[in-house]
């Protein structure tokens, strides 16, 4: 059976995969919540669910391809943004079947995961995915707040255009003022973020770990809001309840 991933590449599966390696933290959590018995490998960055007992294959950008091959997976799940094309090509070159997701918006995330579970993994659409679709469905509202999202400091970086995170905050009614930047994650100056014309700046705890002692003290013109990076960037079960959790951080 040939199944086609988000980028149009065909994976050849004899039957429903029984051994899966995930190179994406979001998808690791999603698979563990849906069909944990098939998950045999994940990256060191796959921190959810807590206590996950599978073989670790190093990082998202430097996976140990030998360890992956030794696990004899029926399918490896990757992502266009998070994983290197070179690693995907090397795995395919030795006969490992790889399914690559491509996610830049909330609707893309929902559709991609429906295909992953319904087509590639052949387990049907999980209940949590249906709940996430109900929570995040509908049109993008007219924005009611101007904001930005820092993701790194020294040098400062922020969320720019064409990202899942940017589309998610737009669906909360927040206008990311850096969404017109051509880069997905542009380098910026502190003045690009610490602006009096913004209502707030989000400081998530990943990929940079912003804390009460590291981040807010740099801002003098705009309020900052610490938040969970997982709620902003992880597509999967983390989407369920994320709308209320993120909205509650911002006073009316």
What is the tens place of the pLDDT at every residue in 179-222? 999 999 999 999 999 999 999 999 999 999 999 999 999 999 99
Digitized pLDDT (tens) for each residue of the chain, 252 residues in all:
789 999 999 999 988 999 999 999 999 999 999 999 999 999 999 999 999 999 999 999 999 999 999 999 999 999 999 999 999 999 999 999 999 999 999 999 999 999 999 999 999 999 999 999 999 988 999 999 999 999 999 999 999 999 999 999 999 999 999 999 999 999 999 999 999 999 999 999 999 999 999 999 999 999 999 999 999 999 999 999 999 999 999 977
Tokens coding 78: 């990757």
- The domain 145-247 having CATH identifier 3.40.50.1980: the answer here is yes
The pLDDT assigned to 14 comes to 83
The pLDDT assigned to 138 comes to 87
The pLDDT assigned to 2 comes to 87
The pLDDT assigned to 223 comes to 97
- The answer to whether 232 and 168 have CB atoms below 8 angstroms apart is yes
- Phi-psi map region of 35: left, alpha, beta (phi>0 left; psi -120 to 50 alpha): beta
CA distance 221 to 35: 47
Alpha helices in 71-141 (DSSP H): 85-93, 106-115, 127-136
Whole-Å CA distances, 113 to 19, 164, 180: 18, 14, 27
The pLDDT assigned to 147 comes to 98
The pLDDT assigned to 108 comes to 97
Beta strands, E only, 32-113:
39-42, 55-56, 75-79, 98-101
Task: Write the class of the CATH domain 2-135.
Answer: alpha beta
- Locate CATH 3.40.50.1980 in the chain: 2-135, 145-247
The pLDDT assigned to 102 comes to 97
The pLDDT assigned to 207 comes to 94
Confirm whether pTM is higher than 0.75. yes
The pLDDT assigned to 200 comes to 98
């Amino acid at each position: 059976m040939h199944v086609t991933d988000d980028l149009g590449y065909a994976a050849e599966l004899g039957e429903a995969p029984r051994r899966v390696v995930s190179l994406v933290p979001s998808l690791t959590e999603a698979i563990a919540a849906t069909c944990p018995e098939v998950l045999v490998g994940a990256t060191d960055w796959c921190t959810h669910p807590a206590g996950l007992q599978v073989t670790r294959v190093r990082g998202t950008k430097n996976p140990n391809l030998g360890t992956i091959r030794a696990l004899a997976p029926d399918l490896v799940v990757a992502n266009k943004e998070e994983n290197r094309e070179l690693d995907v090509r090397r795995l395919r070159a030795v006969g490992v079947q790889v399914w690559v997701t491509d996610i830049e918006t909330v609707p893309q995330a929902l559709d991609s995961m429906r295909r992953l579970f319904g087509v590639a993994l052949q387990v049907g659409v999980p209940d949590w995915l249906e709940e996430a679709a109900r929570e995040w469905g509908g049109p993008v509202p007219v924005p009611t707040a101007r904001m930005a999202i820092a993701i790194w400091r020294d040098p400062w970086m922020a969320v720019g255009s064409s990202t899942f995170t940017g589309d998610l905050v737009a669906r909360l009614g927040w206008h990311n003022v850096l969404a017109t930047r051509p880069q997905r994650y542009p380098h910026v100056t502190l003045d690009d973020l610490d602006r009096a014309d913004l209502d707030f700046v989000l400081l998530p705890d990943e990929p940079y770990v912003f804390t009460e002692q590291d981040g807010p003290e740099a801002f003098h013109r705009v309020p900052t809001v610490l938040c969970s990076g997982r709620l902003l960037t992880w597509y999967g079960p983390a989407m369920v309840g994320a709308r209320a959790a993120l909205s509650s951080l911002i006073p009316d």
